[in-house]
Structure 1
C-alpha cells in the first residue's frame, strides 16, 4: 500500500507532467556509463544533446542539453553553443575529472566533424560518451518552418533513400580497390585537441564490400601502411588493433591514446555492423565520412540496406 508521502509525490509529479512547459520538452532521462575510460563526471550525468523542433517555442530544429537540471541552458541553432556550455559546466559546476573534461572536448570535435545544423551532430557528440541516439533521422526545419530533409539539402526524408542508393552505387564501384589504394580524409582538428599520433597518421576506418575478397561488407583500416591489418566483420577487432598500434608502434602520446579509446566507445554505440560505426569512429578524430550510406551485405550476398534491417536503399 502506498504511503501518504508516496501518494502526494505521485500527484505532484502528475500535475508537473501535465504542465505545458514540461510537455514542450522531451522527458528528462539520464544514462550512467560503466566505461571508466570516459572519466568521472562528478555530480553530473553524462553530457547528452537532443535535436528537435519546438524547443523554447522555436519553429526550427535546434539543439539543447537532454538533462536540463545538470546542464541548464536554452536551445541553440548552433551545437557549439551547447557543447561549449556543457564542457565548461563539467569544470565549473560538476567537478568532473581531467579525463571526463578531455572526453567532452573529443565529443565537441566529433560533433563539429558532422554536417552543421543536423541531428548527425548530436548523434556524434552523444556517441563519444557511449550513448546511442538517432537524431540523424530528424528532418532539419528552418525558422520559416520549411523542411529541408535530414541533411539540410532541401530533400525531405521520403527521398533520402534515393540519395543513399546513389551513394551505395558509387561505393560499390570503388570498394573493390579500396584495399590497395590508401586515401585518407583530412582531420579538421589540431594535435592539441586530439593528440600527437607519433609516426602514424590519424586512425581512420572504412566500410565496404570486397575487402580481402569478402562477399560481405567489412571494416578495415584506411591506411594499411601504418595500421597493417586485414578486414573484419566486427569493427571492434579493427578499432582495438589500431589503438594498440598507437601504443606499441606509433609512439602516440597519452591524449591521442585517450582519443582513440573514445573513438572505440563511439563506434560501439553506433548500429552494428553498419557504416555508421566507421563514421562514428572517424568523427572522433575530426574526420567526416559517409559510410552510413553503404548498404550492409551479408556473407551470402544478401543486401540488408544501410541499417542492416533487410530494407535495401534502392
Structure 2
C-alpha cells in the first residue's frame, strides 16, 4: 500500500506495512472479475408448496442458504427473496463486485418475468449459475 501526499506539483510515496494474509483475503473476496465468487454464501432460491402454515397448494420462495435466509420469512413474491439474496451478498457474504452485479441482473430477470411460480426460482438460480 502506498500513501500519496500532494505538495504543489510533486507527490511523495510512503510505503506502508501490511498484513499479507489479510490483504489477500480482502482482494479475493472483493475481486471485480469473478462473477461466481459469492463469498461465504450460496445465493440459490427455492420454491416450495405448503411451507410452514401455508396451504398445501400455496407456493412460496425462500433463500436456500441459512446464512442468507436468517430472519427472512418465506414470501409469495419472488422479488422479495431475490432482493434479500442480493442484499445479503453485500451484507454478510463478502461476495465479489461481479457476483453482486450478476445477482442484480438475475433479480431484474425475475422481476421482468412477472410470475410467482417455481419457474422464477429456476430462472434466478440459472442466471446465477447455482442450484
Scaled by the length of structure 2, the TM-score of the pair is 0.66
> Which residue in 2 is equivalent to 1:214?
54
Give the Cα separation in 1 of the matches to 2:99 and 2:34: 9
- Across the aligned residues of Structure 1 and Structure 2, the Cα RMSD in angstroms comes to 1.7
- Which ranges in structure 1 are unaligned for 5 or more consecutive residues? 1-191, 289-314
- Of 279-288 and 255-264, more deviation after overlay is shown by 279-288
Aligned to 1:211, the other structure's residue is in SS state coil
Spell out structure 1 runs of 4+ moving beyond 6 A: none
Aligned match of 2:91 in 248, 251, 256?
248
Answer whether contact 1:270 1:280 (CA < 8 A) is retained: no
> Are 1:194 and 2:71 matched, yes or no?
no
Deviation at 1:224, TM superposition (A): 2.2
Deviation at 1:244, TM superposition (A): 0.4
> Which residue in 1 is equivalent to 2:117?
274
Deviations along 1:120-179, one digit per CA (max 9) or x if unpaired, are xxxxxxxxxxxxxxxxxxxxxxxxxxxxxxxxxxxxxxxxxxxxxxxxxxxxxxxxxxxx
Deviations along 1:271-311, one digit per CA (max 9) or x if unpaired, are 511111111100012236xxxxxxxxxxxxxxxxxxxxxxx
Deviation at 1:227, TM superposition (A): 2.8
Answer whether contact 2:47 2:118 (CA < 8 A) is retained: yes
> Which residue in 2 is equivalent to 1:287?
130
> Which residue in 2 is equivalent to 1:5?
none
The count of corresponding residues between Structure 1 and Structure 2 is 96
Answer whether contact 1:270 1:276 (CA < 8 A) is retained: no
Give the Cα separation in 1 of the matches to 2:66 and 2:54: 17
Give the Cα separation in 2 of the matches to 1:223 and 1:210: 19
Higher strand share: 2
Answer whether contact 1:209 1:217 (CA < 8 A) is retained: yes
Aligned to 2:76, the other structure's residue is in SS state coil
Deviations along 1:187-226, one digit per CA (max 9) or x if unpaired, are xxxxx6623111212x111112122221111111112233
> Are 1:227 and 2:69 matched, yes or no?
yes
Aligned to 2:52, the other structure's residue is in SS state helix
> Which residue in 2 is equivalent to 1:174?
none
Higher relative contact order (CA 8 A, sep 6+): 2
